[in-house]
Amino acid sequence: MKVVNDYIDFEIIDTSNGMKYERWGNIYLLRPDPLVIWNNGDLSNKYHNINSIYHRSNKGGGYWEDLKTVPENWVISYHDMKFNLKKMGFKHTGLFPEQAINWNYIREKIKESKRDIKVLNLFAYTGGATIAAMMENAHVTHVDSSKGMVAWAKENVKLNHLDETKVRFIIDDVIKFVKREIRRNNKYDVIIMDPPSFGRGANGEVWDIEKDLFELITLCNELLSDKPLFMLVNSYSGLSPTVLFNVLKLTNQRKGNISIDEIGLPIKTNDLILPCGIYGRIDYE
């Protein structure tokens, strides 16, 4: 497992009974996490500086209960990268801090290449991987079906004072976009994707990871340049690492080196590690 342990602005302080208590800058949140199946006491009574608690609803979704003032948005940093945060309707803040493992790798590989790199970021969300690539002067095509998430990613690019001429934002269904890029004969040195278990495209297209992931990765091989660096697939969907390995092995047309691992975050109070999904990567150089 790869563990991120060098944040200053973020930490998981404690976990218990399906909840995690976190610090995001100077904001303290108590949020659900289904992987926390152990009992370490009632965190809402144990800690008295919680700004907001997310309560799940039995009917689906949930709501935030503010115990102290929480700004509409605030900023945290990871090294020299900055990110806008907001309380979202479904317990999220717009950032998955464990992805720093991948941001570091993205930056290192692009920097080492010492050439102009074109990146395709699919299911790109609020742009963590986009920011990482742009920090090393890569040209990024950022694709997401949510207009709101793309707008948020644009905010993050501005926040980091990056060259906006080096990013192309696309609101579209990912598979439709990839097929169009193949017809246009566009090529990329790096392809990154963070597919959800289930989702809908910009025009209501249905995405189902079990039905569509194999096709998407197969198609993406046709977008790779003559000298690709890597393809990176993140998964929070509960896919077995072996399943993801099998998909990458069967679609590995360029015969790159495949690596699979879990990503985790440390829990401050007891030195446990909270697992936060998996990644699969094919390295071509």
Which pLDDT score is estimated for 90? 87
What six digits make up the tokens of 211?
């039905």
Q: Which of 91, 67, 62, 38 minimizes the C-alpha distance to 267?
A: 38
Which pLDDT score is estimated for 236? 87
Domains of the chain (ranges plus CATH)? 2-85 (2.60.40.1180), 97-283 (3.40.50.150)
- Do 91 and 82 touch, CB atoms closer than 8 A? no
The helix (H) or strand (E) run that includes residue 277 is: strand 273-283
Tens of pLDDT, residues 145-172: 999 999 999 999 999 999 999 999 999 9
Q: Which region among 4-18, 58-72, 105-119, 167-181 has the lowest average model confidence (pLDDT)? A: 58-72
Mean pLDDT computed over every residue of the chain: 96
Confidence of residue 31 (pLDDT cuts 50, 70, 90): very high
Does the structure show a pLDDT above 90 at 41?
A: yes
End-to-end CA distance of the chain: give it in Å, rounded. 23
Tens of pLDDT, residues 258-275: 999 999 999 999 989 999
CA within 13 Å, CB half, 25: 16
For the chain, count helices (H), then strands (E).
7, 17
Which pLDDT score is estimated for 190? 98
Does the structure show a pLDDT above 80 at 201?
A: no
Scored b (16 or more CB within 10 A) or e, 162-185 reads beeebbebbbbbbbebbeebeeee
Q: Which of 199, 206, 193 minimizes the C-alpha distance to 143?
A: 193
Which pLDDT score is estimated for 154? 98
Which pLDDT score is estimated for 197? 83
CA–CA gap between residue 248 and residue 251 (Å, rounded): 5
Q: Mean of the pLDDT values across residues 216-229?
A: 98
- Do 123 and 47 touch, CB atoms closer than 8 A? no
Q: Which region among 41-55, 178-192, 202-216 has the lowest average model confidence (pLDDT)? A: 202-216
pLDDT > 90: what percent of the chain?
A: 90
Confidence of residue 36 (pLDDT cuts 50, 70, 90): very high
What is the DSSP secondary structure assignment for residue 240, as one 8-state letter?
A: -
> Which whole-number Å values give the CA distances from 39 to 14, 16, 17, 132, in the listed order?
11, 5, 5, 37
